[in-house]
Amino acid sequence: MTHALIVIDVQNDFCPGGALAVPEGDLIVPGINKLMADADAVVLTQDWHPKGHSSFASSHNGQGPYEVIDMPYGPQVLWPDHCIQGSGGAAFHAGLDVNRANMIVRKGYRAGIDSYSAFFENDHETPTGLEGYLRTRGITRLTMAGLATDFCVNFSAVDAAKLGFEVNVRMDLCRAIDLDGSLAAAQAGMAKAGVVLTV
């Protein structure tokens, strides 16, 4: 069985000091680097938004960060501007062993739609291409870690399980944003989808 490590969005904007900082987001970096040794393939995802992206509160008159709006593809949380293509905030955390990566998946690069999941944009149907990469490499088992537990890790893990991959999320190597109980909801949703959560 071939095994991939999927590292979700370990980028400066999600670490302390960043535009959408996740508490302790930087603490998971050494543990993730260690996990890379056990993987047949290492995939990094990178949140990669154009300026003025529709997931930014600043793109909507009168709306503030963390409010929820209706988009054509469903509800969308509005965020502070973050992970702008080519910016320092979009760069990977300097401590992450990016040289070990076989594949980097960029997501959220279309102005009109967000993409939390490494597999599908937020319409749940536009593919990123990661499924094809993993299948053509014969990968069946995935370990996931990164940021943020309740958004991009959650959506990626649930999609992967639905696609038939065997998925383990290393909760000790993830950190959450936790808006209004979103962490508890994410844990329940992942468990229901058959994701194994390791603490």
**Which residues contribute to the site for Zn ion (CB under 5 A)?**
47
* Binding positions for ligand VGL, 42-71, rule CB under 6 A: 47
Query: Any contact of residue 151 with ligand VGL (CB under 6 A)?
Result: yes
81 is catalytic: no
Rounded distance between C-alpha atoms, residue 35 and residue 160, angstroms: 19
State the Rg of the chain over Cα. 16
Beta carbon of residue 146, minimum distance to ligand VGL (angstroms, whole number): 8
Q: Is 9 noted as a catalytic residue in this protein?
A: yes
Distance in Å, CB of 161 to ligand VGL, minimum: 18
3-state DSSP assignment of residue 194: coil
130 is an interface residue for ligand VGL by CB under 6 A: no
Q: Is position 107 annotated as part of the catalytic site? A: yes
Q: Which residue has the tokens 């329940």?
A: 188
Q: Which candidate in 13, 152, 159, 174 is catalytic?
A: 152
Could you say which DSSP state residue 188 is in? H
Question: Using an 8 Å Cβ cutoff, are 187 and 153 in contact?
Answer: no
CB 172 within 8 A of CB 146: no
Residues within the interface to ligand VGL (CB under 6 A): 9, 14, 47, 79, 147-148, 151-152
